[in-house]
Amino acid sequence: MTEPQGGQAATAIGEADVLIIGGGLSGTLLAMQLLRLPGARHIVLVEPRPELGRGEAYSATELGHTLNGNAARMSIDPDDADDLTRWLQAHITDGGWPESAAQQVPVAHLFPPRGLFGRYAQQRLAEALVRGKVQGSSLTHVRDEVIGLQTDDRRVQVTLKDGRQLQASIAVLATGMFPAARTAQRQSSGLNAAALDPWDVAALRGLPVDARVLIIGSGLTMVDALESLNQAGHRGPIEVFSRHGLLPHVRRQPPAWEDFLSQAPEIRSPLQLLRALRQHCQRAQAMGIDWQAPLDTVRVHIPRLWSQASDVQRRQFVRHVRPWWESHHHRSPPQGNALLQKLLKEGRLTIQAASLQGVASSDDGRPQIRLRYRGQTQVRVVEGDGLINSTGIEYDWRRVDKALPRQLLERGLIRVGNLGLGIAADPSGAVLNAQSQPAKRLFAMGPPLRGEWWESTAVTDVALQAKALAAKLVSL
């Protein structure tokens, strides 16, 4: 057990006031907010990685794997939208990230590498730790994995993979994302077993330089996969297959647009939102303004609109609108889009609408995928030299083959969230059990609450949740 920033080994941590399960961005931002609040409290953060603040998303080491939002949109301080911009400016002035000059834009418009963003989060945590110590607060990083949890009216007890047990007054599930490419699944199509990791450049270097590469999924993870292949020196054909064949739009820097939803309380359903949004986008284009301007005003209202929608409305949105929503809303950074367009122009990249039916291998070990192309009933077999899983994030905890989700579901301590997305919780973040009763001492935040708020994964969403949950926890 170690303190962040390389502290000395702890002999005992005692009972924690707050035990945070997961030390990626979600858990780190919650710890940061707790350390900033007045009062003395002992925080324990359980995370198997040696560094806090990075998690899956910000452990990337390749400069080409960038944020999909510019600096002005990615502050981890919900009270200071310019926090990342100032940090980047100081970092660049001190000689860091010299490659930023190639983007030729103001610092606020830069798209930083994810690894650099992880460093930013770590520095802000270190500063909060200093502030917390003045007030008598402490933070202990336990490098292990929680595999079991039980709770009663007085405390929460967790079991670690090495057999140790820790106790706390309150526990928070800040488990972050489960990338489909890296997450074992209880019911698997065999894709992960046959596919390469989209972020593992070293593994991709093992492919022949002219290999025919098949990619399943056409979202932002696919854009990362293209960059990884580029870094690996790949020069062969790339075939991308996804259910609708949609590509992420490139993120631009549109001018400000009126927050029309704040003036329209009658808009309450996804269908009403889409109609109003389409009208505003058409109006913007008629004025010569980028259609992304009206779209960028919507995000702050999504939690409210999603939470007040009926189950039928949510189901209709996920089934019929989700692919188009994500391709327009979850946009690609300019660098990734430039590479994608280059590959399309060269004829090396093709995008096809088809659903995956199965995965196998040829006699010589080459991956084979069974596809049903959109509009057709016949299943076809496509063979390549390499296969990449770029299907994004696995949000259904019933499919995640990890000890803690399995145990929590089996014991009825949690129930699956709306439409099988994440886990259920009340508006404060208190986890709902199998009988839909809110827990007194178990909370959740970030990606696990996808079903409750829909957009619960972006930096700004998580930062706002961390601030609100920290205030809630210190009041208990």
pLDDT for 144-193, tens place per residue? Answer: 999 999 999 999 999 999 999 999 999 999 999 999 999 988 877 789 88
Q: In 127-151, which positions are buried (b, 16+ CB within 10 angstroms) versus exposed (e)?
A: ebbeebeeeebbbbbbbbbbbbbeb
Tell me the one-letter amino acid at 218.
Answer: S
Taking the CA atoms of 436, 450, 194 and 323 in sequence, report the sign of the dihedral they define.
positive
Res 212: pLDDT? 98
Burial class of residue 262 (count of CB atoms within 10 Å of its CB; 0-12, 13-18, 19+): exposed
Burial class of residue 255 (count of CB atoms within 10 Å of its CB; 0-12, 13-18, 19+): exposed
Q: Do the strands 386-389 and 146-151 form a parallel or antiparallel pair, or are they unpaired? A: unpaired
Q: Do domains 16-65+113-178+396-475 and 181-249+332-389 have the same CATH topology?
A: yes
Tell me the angle at which helices 220-231 and 334-346 cross, rounded to the nearest 10 degrees: 70
CATH of domain 16-65+113-178+396-475: 3.50.50.60
Res 50: pLDDT? 95
Q: Give the HSE-up count for residue 77: Cα atoms under 13 Å, Cβ half-sphere.
A: 17
pLDDT at 2 over 70: no
**Alpha-carbon distance values, 260 to 199, 267, 281, 414, 437 (Å):** 39, 10, 12, 37, 36
Mean pLDDT score of the chain: 93
Model confidence at 6, pLDDT cuts 50, 70, 90, reads very low
Per-residue model confidence as pLDDT tens digits over 330-358: 999 999 999 999 999 999 999 999 999 99
Task: Pick 181-249+332-389's CATH classification: 3.40.50.1360, 3.30.70.260, 3.40.50.1010, 3.50.50.60.
Answer: 3.50.50.60
pLDDT at 21 over 60: yes
Six-digit token string for 219: 């979202």
Domain ranges of the chain: 16-65+113-178+396-475, 181-249+332-389, 260-329
Percent of the chain with pLDDT over 70: 97
Q: In 279-317, which positions are buried (b, 16+ CB within 10 angstroms) versus exposed (e)?
A: ebbeebeeeeebbbbbbbbbeebbbebbeebeeebbebb
Res 42: pLDDT? 96
Look up tokens 């999909």; give the residue: 68
Per-residue model confidence as pLDDT tens digits over 386-430: 999 999 999 999 999 999 999 999 999 999 999 999 999 999 999
**Contact in structure between 420 and 398 (CB atoms under 8 Å):** yes
Model confidence at 12, pLDDT cuts 50, 70, 90, reads low
To which H or E segment does residue 189 belong? none
Six-digit token string for 307: 């939470």
Per-residue model confidence as pLDDT tens digits over 94-153: 999 999 999 999 999 999 999 999 999 999 999 999 999 999 999 999 999 999 999 999
To which H or E segment does residue 223 belong? helix 220-231
pLDDT at 270 over 90: no
Six-digit token string for 68: 């999909």
Per-residue model confidence as pLDDT tens digits over 275-324: 999 999 999 999 999 999 999 999 889 888 888 888 999 998 888 889 99
